[in-house]
Structure 1
Amino acid sequence: MRKGIILAGGAGTRLWPLTAYTCKQLLPVYDKPLIYYPLTSLILAGIQDILIISTPEDTPVLQKALGDGAFYGVSIQYAVQENPNGLAEALIIGEEFLGGEDCCLILGDNILYRSGFTHFMKAAIAENSGATVFGFPVKDPSRFGVIETADDAQKVLSLEEKPEKPKSNLAAIGLYLYDGSASEKARSLKPGKRGELEITDLNLLYLHEDRLNHCRFSRGDFWLDAGLFETLNDASNLVRLTEDYTGQKIGCPEEAAFVMGNIDRDTVLERAEMMPQSAYSAYLRRIARPKGTMFGTEE
């Protein structure tokens, strides 16, 4: 799997007035823009071609911030979602980009952290036979899409959106794997109660074909949807504490690209020289030392 989509649309109304004059995905999560985190996740998953979908107003801003992906050793393209017509529309907008290939879809406000993330994602990609949803245990599952799994925890038995009586504590997070039929399936969907093409409805099509798998994040991992004031603040605090204690950054796409072999040491140093006075730049110089990365790879 070499293609991925970051859906970075939406008006950011839940974060107003923070989003009154800037793009939600460029809001800071401690020391990095929010979009760095899903971008890093895709890079660590081995994705080489990335499509970022956003609003007409925010797409040019994101393009200015991230460019064509050269500093991350990937290709980044951009597309516009004219109206907030639902998550599943991303697969229709990206149909030409995907060209019938498998893909990974991640939401632009999702922050994931897991030791050995590359191995975890490569295993999930290798086992994907249709679609894969990723679950995270939560204390209040009725607020989320809820995954019920079989005993082996891979095969999905049911998927319900915000059920009153959840069948499990597994929330479906904003990370998905799809086979080459995803765009065609998305086109067959009808708008749901919110007038949008719902990602849950797309996943249910795979479930009805008995081709919907599940991968679970577990204790010690973390996932945050940074779309609220509280979760945006929680994410910043969690990232700061983790980075301060470990000396390693979370959501650093340049480091991820270096670890994955997408870019060389000179490219990391060139990137660092674009912002020589920042602590972020100092970190890039440190990981580009001749002996290699300070902490090894994500493998």
Structure 2
Amino acid sequence: MAQATDRTIPDRHGGAPVTGEGERAAAEGEPAPVSVRHCNSAMRGSCFAGARVTVELTRAGERSLTIADDFIQVADDLRDYLDDREWVAELVEGARRGARNALDEYDYRVGPLRAVLVKHAIHPVDSGYLAVKAAAHRAVREAIDLLGPAMVRDWVTFTPTGPVVRLTSPPDTVLPEGSGVVTIEAERAAERVVLVADGFVVAGDAEQVDPAEVERLALAAAHESLDLYENRVGPLRLTLLRHPYGIQWSDQYGLETALRKAVRMAVEQLEFAVAAAR
């Protein structure tokens, strides 16, 4: 097993290459936009296809998320829907959770954001807790893409052999119990190598855990994630450095979710670092 290195694990979020108007502006030397207002695209192939949420994102010193007083809007012939206050409250909460989850996953690409949920027009078929949650998540994610890229310099170390990225995947703070995270280190290599650092699984004294089984699941999840993203930068040497054990999230699904986020983020950072080094 590989030994973990001494590099500090940063906690703050920054940015990475994305697609959209912001990336086009950056490529052409134009200033990146400071603020965008965006309504999510259709979720085709989903029963939530018609759900729409409009969000406004502004670069800021620290993250905030607010919901406009008139966020829930209705046509005159649907005003009776507002009488169901519990249902309306569910729509608002769904939007809040979806937006917060997207910020947790993607705002490292652009830095802290002030997010305002501007509008959801009630539809008698398409409106619902899960639909609005999904629409808000997509709206925030797509709006972040429009703001444009930035590299998280604290995550990237430039070495004589190329950039090395070290980061920790963001937790899913929407879930009441939280979610698992992993810290990884990635660099380009001649062929794929996945290593597990000594002490990868961190568990409390009272926890009954089989580190070998958790490592096995993490290795499988790492290879699955590399299959998805590695082709963007070529073969990687990936070291799994640290995973705080939790019975709720150290199973196959939890590790797959955490590794998919971490590897995607690392690949994005490597793309940007390689381009910056040219």
What's the TM-score, normalizing by structure 1?
Answer: 0.24
Larger Rg: 2
